[in-house]
A = this chain, B = another copy of it.
Amino acid sequence: MSISGPLGSLPIPNFIHKRLFSQSSSNRSLNINNINPHVKEAKYAVRGELAIKSEQYRAQLAKGEGKDLPFDSVISANIGNPQQLDQKPITFFRQVASLVENPQLLEKEEVLKNGLGYKSDVIERAKKLLKDVKSVGAYSQSQGAPGIRQSVADFIERRDGYSADPQNIYLCGGASAGVNALMSVLCASPQTGVLVPIPQYPLYTATLSLLNAQMVPYYLKEESQWSTDVGGMRTALKEAQKKGIDVRAVVVINPGNPTGASLAADHISSVLELAAEEKLVVLADEVYQTNVFEGKFQSFKKSLRELQSSEKNKGGKFDYIELASLHSISKGMVGECGHRGGYYEMVGFDPEVVAQIYKFVSIMLCPPVVGQCLVETMVNPPVEGDPSYPLYREEYDTIFQNLKQRAFALYNAFKEMEGVECQPPQGSMYLYPTINLPQKAIEAAKKEGKNPDDFYCLSLLDATGICIVPGSGFGQKEGTLHFRTTFLAPGTDWVSRITEFHRKFLDEYR
């Protein structure tokens, strides 16, 4: 029995439960025991108990009621929300957005240019977008505005060196909406299985829970920088098949969330080979494709086209691979998550299946049109010679360098912390260190009915105001403990808050 307050579900004794809820249950249509069980099963820790508690601390501090708290600010390192923290939006993007929002401004070009410093390419871009969408207040095609999809196709072609078809591009309200559409069509029964990395971004397990399908876990190799181990993937697949699970897709998050890993090209090819052999749809979550600190991002689409045109493709083995690659405006140097924009490219899908995906997304009408416009500016930014290019370049590079610096500052701090092991930062916005906690801390957690990593993260929040997410929210090998932190928060003060807390925590429970 549990009661849900603003802090999530807390256990309460049975007799109190009866007193509180029995009347309500009998008078209402809905209660916790008769609603959709799959919603109840779904877990989404990124915005769970800790996040809600941190928001309460923040509200307390804002009202000036936080004098008794041992910290004076809340640091939201739980969620990749760049603009909630230090990251400024890119000027070109937002200037264009301001014009598509108020096209009347386009009648005053002189004021825009001389009074507000808008460059001519900003104005041209806004006009181009408005020609395509007519008004950002109008529904677009459910698949997204045609001109914007064309820009996405051009971007993919430039990125990969292989052509892309705008017909295969679906704009969506952030990658999450894309995953939801794809999974909703793919999951046909409680026996449908999808290979999901562990650790993973919990969108995948939550969506599979909601759709009453099976999460088939494959473990990433922490010891080799969280790389994808196709051997382990195959074993997981075979074991699931033995249990009667119809495994029909594999999710790969590259660069990794929460791991920060960046996949090498040969790992990607191995996944595609497995997909060809076992007829798996590949869902490539590539939303962190510009957050790469080591090496160069390689897309699944590029690897697929390379395989298809290589000698390995004897007998057309790779011809029918179904690949959906997702990208987003939420991450990278763009960081426009509040605008809810993204896209997925589908290649190799049966046209009848695509028609069903189209129908599915049409029920929700269309993705936010300003978000679509920002997708366009992301994939088609100012280039050398454009008036807005110098500022764009400077802003972009500064954000990138800041992220990289903070990633390594955090990594270096973790390396020094007793009982903490951390893989070097490669990409995305996260670090996912292992924490080794003393037995006494584990017992203290148990006493409070909590996982040890939950207990650790809650203690950190209460002591420092820093909100991170326990490893149990992403999955971890039995017997190991982790947490995920973003490296988006400005400054380094908060890193030392963690170091200090950690020392005291170990001292207390040693």
- A: residues with CB less than 8 A from B are 3-5, 8-9, 21, 24-25, 27-32, 34-37, 39-40, 42, 44, 46-48, 55, 79, 81-84, 89, 91, 94-95, 97-99, 101-105, 108, 111, 115-116, 133-142, 173-174, 176-177, 180, 184-188, 203, 206-207, 210-211, 248-249, 279-281, 319-320, 322, 335-340, 348-356, 359-360, 362-371
Q: Name the one of B34, B335, B365 contacting A137, with C-beta atoms under 8 angstroms.
A: B335
A281 to B211 CA separation, bound complex (whole angstroms): 23
Q: Kindly report how many copies of this chain are found in the complex they form together.
A: 2
* A83: min CB distance to chain B, Å: 4
Q: Find out whether the CB atom of A185 lies under 8 angstroms from the CB atom of B36.
A: yes
Minimal beta-carbon separation of A247 from chain B (angstroms): 9
Smallest distance from the beta carbon of A367 to chain B beta carbons, Å?
7
**Central interface residue in A30, A42, A141, A351, by most chain B CB within 10 Å:** A30
Additional 17 contacts, C-beta under 8 A, given A97-B101, A340-B340:
A4-B352, A4-B354, A27-B279, A29-B280, A29-B281, A30-B322, A36-B211, A44-B359, A47-B365, A83-B135, A91-B104, A94-B102, A105-B116, A139-B338, A206-B363, A339-B370, A368-B370
Instruction: Kindly state the separation between the CA atoms of A450 and B410 in the bound complex, as whole angstroms.
Output: 65
The docked-state distance in angstroms from the alpha carbon of A416 to that of B94 is 51
| Smallest CB gap from A248: residue in B | B29
What is the distance, in angstroms, from A279's C-beta to the closest C-beta of chain B?
A: 5
Please name all residues of chain B whose beta carbon is closer than 8 Å to the beta carbon of A103 when the two chains form the complex: 94
A36 touches B364 (CB 8 A): no
> Given the interface contacts A142-B47, A207-B363, A350-B30, does A338 sit within 8 Å of B133 by beta carbon?
yes
* A369 to B371 Cα, complex, angstroms: 10
